[in-house]
Structure 1
Amino acid sequence: MKHESPLVKFLVWRIKHVSNRNFILILAGVTGLIAGSAAVTLKESVHFIQHQLTGNFNKEYENYFYIGFPLIGILLTVILSRYIIKEKIGHGITQILYDISKNGSIIKRSKMFSRMITSAITVGFGGSVGLEGPIVTTGSAIGSNVGRFVHLNAKKRTLLIGCGAAGAISAIFNSPVAGVIFSMEVILADVTIGMFIPLLIASVSGTLVSITLLGDDVLFSFKLVDSFKASDTPYYILLGMISGLVSVYFTRTTYKVESLIKKAKNYMGRGLIGGVLLGVIIFFFPPIYGEGYNTIKSLLAGNQMNILDTSLFFSEISNIWMVFIFMISVILVKPIASALTIGSGGSGGIFAPSLFLGGVTGYLFASMLNVITWGNVNVSTSNFTLVGMCGVMSGVLHAPLTAIFLIAEITSGYELFVPLMLVSAISFSTSSFFEKHSLYTKHLIESGDLIQYDKDRQVLSLIDLNKIIEKDLLKIHPNATLGELVDLVRISKRNIFPVVNEHQELLGVVTLDDIRNIMFDAEKQRDTIVKTYMHSPPAYISSHENMQSVMSKFELSGAWNLPVIDNGKYVGFLSKSRIFNTYRKKLIHHNQE
């Protein structure tokens, strides 16, 4: 005992004196504090870089700097991620969901700091993405590794991942309720009452760090100036529909552009192409530079002309319709810019781009409505800007409650709660009609790497198919005699015999029932060959298939045993009874955790 490490001594003391429930609450608070500190550090780092680069811009030459800075940021990020950190950069929250689903909620330790560094460079140099995704990844990694440090099981590590995400979001927006709901809607697919209290503690801890270190200097905040009018409800309904369609455009464009840019296999070449294209876009549309919150603040203040200040061609334009055309163009190219930033190797998230896109959409909708009705309608552009942010965020992230409470909290009131609920619900419904999954989960769900809200499928996904393939079945050559097969029957414990040729290709199967009536006939044993009685199995399985596909084949075929074939070669058999037995063990273990 004298050689025990301090950690082991602490864990032994903890087991004796601190209950599991209270220990989790303490860890939730610690995780929230660390995640909140990380969020503040990242936010301050990015704004410091941006101030150093753009603080003394000469407007006459500003656009030309916009071309170069994003390219430099992306290339620096690629070099750092590929050759120093040696970590693949992409949609961080997607990777977190994968780690929860497939890696037992174990997240690499390097992610506790890698995304902070890379996103600070990318966004600081003008990459058209946000900080929220990277800081959620950072907070989640902190939670996972805190859990690993004190030897928690996978289920409790998952809870701490959610705590880290909640603490990060609450700190960066000073929005504790939104932090909790984001964690429940996006990170944790199966939330129980027991999880709720730790999430609250972590979120409050993150907010306290933010208030203490930043005060009111949070990422984005706004004080409402206009009240909600019930007579505007029809326009909010229409905005909800438009926000949903914009969300679909954002999602599909992002996937398309990312897939195109990733066709460039050379990482530096991809970063160069993406950086140059992004610089060109920002050259013509400067509001797309960086996160875009300054643009939203200008629109909320009613200073729509400010977004043209640094525009190359529109700086002298005062015609409101030209401003509208410029805004429509910004809406169309923003998803392309965000996809280029992430797809070419930059580090960032889609949280801020969705808010930016929603804000511009809401402001444009309200302004055009006021203009085309010639004064007969006068809706609040600031209210519609905020509600538009909620709508597009709800549609893109498929997180309607997060969107509602985030906007409610950053406006320091619930005056807009009714239109926020209405637009969020309509946008989410519209978006879900065309895109069933969010940007975070679409790829994972389609590949079978993530299963949400289905306990049966979640447990099935835990089964490793390769570990339950049965390879003890005795093989027989198709030209072997019935007598040779009978000899195998005598020593085999199974009643299925795969018929395999010299190339290890499965030609069929023979069962004991197929030969039962003739197996003791001496003449037939001598003269009959095996392929006479073999038959094809009703379906084939690949060892690379997911368990949902495997169970579908068993259900459709009605078989209890199916052969496993890889690259045309016979591997073994899979039995439904063994799957059920393994499923039962996994379910018991899952519930015990």
Structure 2
Amino acid sequence: MQRTRVGSRRSRAQWDLVVLALIVGLGAGLGAIAFRWLIRTFTWLFSGHQDYAAAGRAAHPHLPWLGPWFVLLAPVAGGLLYGPLVQRFAEEARGHGVPEVMYAVALRGGRIAPRVSVVKALASALCMGSGGSVGREGPIVQIGSALGSALGGVLKVPESRMRMLVACGAAGGIAATFNAPLAGVFFAMELILRDFAVESFGAVVISSVTASVVGRAAFGDTAFLALPAFHVDNLVQYLLFAVLGVAAGVVGLGFTRVLYLVEDACDWAWRGPEWLRPAAGGLLLGGVLLALPEMYGVGYPALENAVEGRYLIGFVLLLLVGKVLATSLTIGIGGSGGVFAPSLFIGAMTGTAFGILVHHLSPAMGGNAGAYGLVGMGAAFAGAARAPITAVVVLFELTGEYSIILPMMLAIVLATLTSRALSRDTIYTLKLRRRGIDLDQAHHDSPFAAVSAGHVMEPLPTPLPADTPLPQAADSLALSGHGALPVTDCEGRYHGVVTARAVAEALAVARTDLSQSPVTVEDLTEVPQAVTDGTPLSAALHALVTADGTGLPVLDHGSGKPVGWLTHQAVLGVTATNGMWSRPIR
């Protein structure tokens, strides 16, 4: 049929998005490989070990005369390198990264400076390699998002698609660096885009899967943490997991508060140039690392040891306090790295300590302390980030144990509710609110927030019957001025739209190949994304931007029949009425 030859703009747009998601996923996967290589390289250069958190108080192999005291100087040396780098080329690379991406998606149309990916990779790798007690997820989210934004900028895609590409980069980075494709998808949807639109979800999944395949080719098909299998021994433990969920939610919220209190203290105390701040503060961080070398870098070896029951409760609590302090100090002095992994670490220590205590009080009822450690990981992250779906998926991908899903979901939901009851902000949104940026309020302030397509639609142009010959359809389209018209059957049922472009191309083909040309508009009918009279204008706008012609039919939400016509002019009328012109994006 001619539809195959002519095609539709919407179909091409969808396939274009698939290709772009694949490219972003590939780039994010390769970026994750390079980023992890940089971390390993700098860790070896600064400490002489693959992961100093597992080496105890060992000396640097190339500086044996310093003994373990070299850790006092490692953060200073790292700060002297990444401090000027961030200050000179990309100040947004400072900190944990995710809030900057959330801000770019919500208020800057997804625009992120391309240089951020390079600066963030180098700065974060230097910070973690020299002892910074932060995680990989913040940097890789910012790196992948910057790659997606750069690709969208080169191709000059619309803002709605730019946001999707940014989310694709974030999902791909998480999937590749942690070998957790599902976690990448839900992290991007729940925290970056903050919605679950079908088209966005599909693109993010494609990117995440692509990046995960690339990551597995380089790192193997293993989870980023090697944790033993645990299960629930008796039903009474569900009550204990519920208590743990509330406690971990409080701990996660406490981590958020301490993080920004320490940052405020560092801002108050430092009076020198910003580029020197990481090096000067590195002396304090080095002191923490000298006392607790398990805090060096991400600290996964200590996390695994705690969950496997190799530490006593006193040392577990010491590691909990030490991680909160070390991560807060790393961010406060101007370091670069994520807070996702530290929140998992803090949750694991909280859960393990809780499990050890329960086991001492009632060995028969308490069960294995490691199971509480696993659940505590997800609950503390949920309490800090308030992203329960991501928390559940991450822990499931870590363990692969379905038997622990139910207590995990119970604890994570209670942790989220506890955090929400005690605080308005998350560990990510609080950073933005401190700058005067309220993402939720920005959404509600949008002129589209309380407006539906039915409120702004124009009168429906006369539909074309499905059996209309093409020459007659061409005349109707030329007179309408819309570039597209709705198509109905003999009973008035909606079939889709036919565009002037499709008819013109079909008539041109008909002059040279009469045997393959369609004879009615039914053969050229396209079905755009459905917009009903109750669809919020913010959602209808996306369908309008990706549609051919100058408008879309608005359907009755009950009968599905076209009742109006949505145009760009109608949307512009809403923006002008609500003063959008006076609010440029900065």
Give me the TM-score of the superposition, normalised by structure 1: 0.69
Q: Partner of 2:354 in structure 1?
A: 365
AA aligned opposite 1:33: L
Q: Partner of 1:277 in structure 2?
A: 284
Q: 1:376-413: CA deviations, max 9, x gaps?
A: 43421221111110011111111111011001011123
Find the structure with the greater CA-based Rg. Answer: 1
Contact 1:100 1:158 survives alignment (8 Å): yes
Q: How does 1:237-248 map to 2 (within 5 A)?
A: 237-248=242-253
Residue 419 of structure 1: which of 397, 402, 407 is its match?
Answer: 407
- 1:49: Cα distance to partner? 2.8
Contact 2:232 2:367 survives alignment (8 Å): no
Q: How does 1:435-474 map to 2 (within 5 A)?
A: 435-445=423-433, 447-452=435-440, 455-459=443-447
Contact 1:243 1:358 survives alignment (8 Å): yes
Work out whether 1:334 is the aligned partner of 2:328: no
For residues 302 and 178 of structure 2, what CA distance do their matches in structure 1 show?
A: 17
Q: How many residues align?
A: 442
For residues 180 and 263 of structure 2, what CA distance do their matches in structure 1 show?
A: 31
Contact 2:308 2:370 survives alignment (8 Å): yes
For residues 290 and 224 of structure 1, what CA distance do their matches in structure 2 show?
A: 26
AA aligned opposite 1:380: N
Q: Partner of 2:32 in structure 1?
A: 39
Q: Partner of 1:173 in structure 2?
A: 178
Q: Partner of 1:469 in structure 2?
A: none
Q: How does 1:39-58 map to 2 (within 5 A)?
A: 39-52=32-45, 53-55=47-49
AA aligned opposite 1:365: F
For residues 130 and 298 of structure 1, what CA distance do their matches in structure 2 show?
A: 18
Work out whether 1:383 is the aligned partner of 2:371: yes
Change over 3 Å in CA distance of 1:376–1:190 after alignment to 2: closer
Q: How does 1:111-130 map to 2 (within 5 A)?
A: 111-130=116-135
Residue 353 of structure 1: which of 320, 323, 342 is its match?
Answer: 342
- 1:456: Cα distance to partner? 3.9
Contact 1:38 1:168 survives alignment (8 Å): yes
- 1:129: Cα distance to partner? 0.5
Contact 2:92 2:100 survives alignment (8 Å): no
Q: Partner of 2:305 in structure 1?
A: 298
Q: How does 1:48-87 map to 2 (within 5 A)?
A: 48-52=41-45, 53-55=47-49, 59=57, 61=59, 63-83=68-88
Work out whether 1:288 is the aligned partner of 2:295: yes
RMSD: 2.9
Work out whether 1:162 is the aligned partner of 2:167: yes
- 1:339: Cα distance to partner? 1.8
For residues 411 and 58 of structure 1, what CA distance do their matches in structure 2 show?
A: 27
Change over 3 Å in CA distance of 1:300–1:328 after alignment to 2: closer
Q: 1:501-531: CA deviations, max 9, x gaps?
A: xxxxxxxxxxxxxxxxxxxxxxxxxxxxxxx
Q: Partner of 1:230 in structure 2?
A: 235
For residues 233 and 183 of structure 2, what CA distance do their matches in structure 1 show?
A: 21
Q: 1:153-188: CA deviations, max 9, x gaps?
A: 111100111111111111122111111111111100
Contact 1:143 1:163 survives alignment (8 Å): yes
For residues 575 and 89 of structure 2, what CA distance do their matches in structure 1 show?
A: 45
For residues 313 and 203 of structure 2, what CA distance do their matches in structure 1 show?
A: 46
Change over 3 Å in CA distance of 1:459–1:100 after alignment to 2: farther
For residues 584 and 261 of structure 1, what CA distance do their matches in structure 2 show?
A: 41
Contact 1:173 1:410 survives alignment (8 Å): no
Residue 189 of structure 1: which of 170, 191, 194 is its match?
Answer: 194
- 1:265: Cα distance to partner? 3.7
Change over 3 Å in CA distance of 1:200–1:585 after alignment to 2: farther
Q: How does 1:110-149 map to 2 (within 5 A)?
A: 110-149=115-154
- 1:229: Cα distance to partner? 3.8
AA aligned opposite 1:457: D
Q: How does 1:400-549 map to 2 (within 5 A)?
A: 400-445=388-433, 447-452=435-440, 455-459=443-447
Contact 2:131 2:297 survives alignment (8 Å): yes
Q: 1:222-275: CA deviations, max 9, x gaps?
A: 341445643311110111011011012101000100011122142245324421
For residues 127 and 91 of structure 2, what CA distance do their matches in structure 1 show?
A: 17
- 1:583: Cα distance to partner? 4.5
Change over 3 Å in CA distance of 1:429–1:412 after alignment to 2: same
- 1:113: Cα distance to partner? 1.6
AA aligned opposite 1:43: R
For residues 28 and 253 of structure 2, what CA distance do their matches in structure 1 show?
A: 31
For residues 441 and 204 of structure 2, what CA distance do their matches in structure 1 show?
A: 19
For residues 403 and 376 of structure 1, what CA distance do their matches in structure 2 show?
A: 29
Percent identity for Structure 1 against Structure 2: 30
Contact 2:56 2:294 survives alignment (8 Å): no
For residues 356 and 369 of structure 2, what CA distance do their matches in structure 1 show?
A: 6
- 1:201: Cα distance to partner? 0.5
Give me the TM-score of the superposition, normalised by structure 2: 0.70
Q: 2:202 aligns to what SS in structure 1?
A: helix
Q: Partner of 2:514 in structure 1?
A: none
Residue 215 of structure 1: which of 212, 215, 220 is its match?
Answer: 220
Q: 2:121 aligns to what SS in structure 1?
A: helix
Contact 2:180 2:223 survives alignment (8 Å): no
Contact 1:36 1:171 survives alignment (8 Å): yes
For residues 92 and 407 of structure 2, what CA distance do their matches in structure 1 show?
A: 42
Change over 3 Å in CA distance of 1:216–1:268 after alignment to 2: same
Contact 1:75 1:275 survives alignment (8 Å): no
**Which moves more between the two structures, 406-415 or 222-231?**
222-231
- 1:115: Cα distance to partner? 0.9
Change over 3 Å in CA distance of 1:440–1:583 after alignment to 2: farther
Contact 1:262 1:270 survives alignment (8 Å): no
AA aligned opposite 1:444: L
- 1:15: Cα distance to partner? 9.4
- 1:50: Cα distance to partner? 2.3
Contact 2:98 2:428 survives alignment (8 Å): yes
Contact 2:249 2:380 survives alignment (8 Å): yes
For residues 577 and 404 of structure 2, what CA distance do their matches in structure 1 show?
A: 48
Q: 1:399-439: CA deviations, max 9, x gaps?
A: 11101100101112322110110110011111111221111
- 1:296: Cα distance to partner? 1.1
Q: Partner of 2:561 in structure 1?
A: none
Contact 1:241 1:430 survives alignment (8 Å): yes
Q: 1:66-86: CA deviations, max 9, x gaps?
A: 222223222321022224666
For residues 7 and 21 of structure 2, what CA distance do their matches in structure 1 show?
A: 16
For residues 91 and 248 of structure 2, what CA distance do their matches in structure 1 show?
A: 38
For residues 232 and 155 of structure 1, what CA distance do their matches in structure 2 show?
A: 46
Contact 2:227 2:308 survives alignment (8 Å): no
Q: Partner of 1:582 in structure 2?
A: 576
| Runs of 5+ unmatched residues, structure 2 | 1-5, 60-66, 450-571
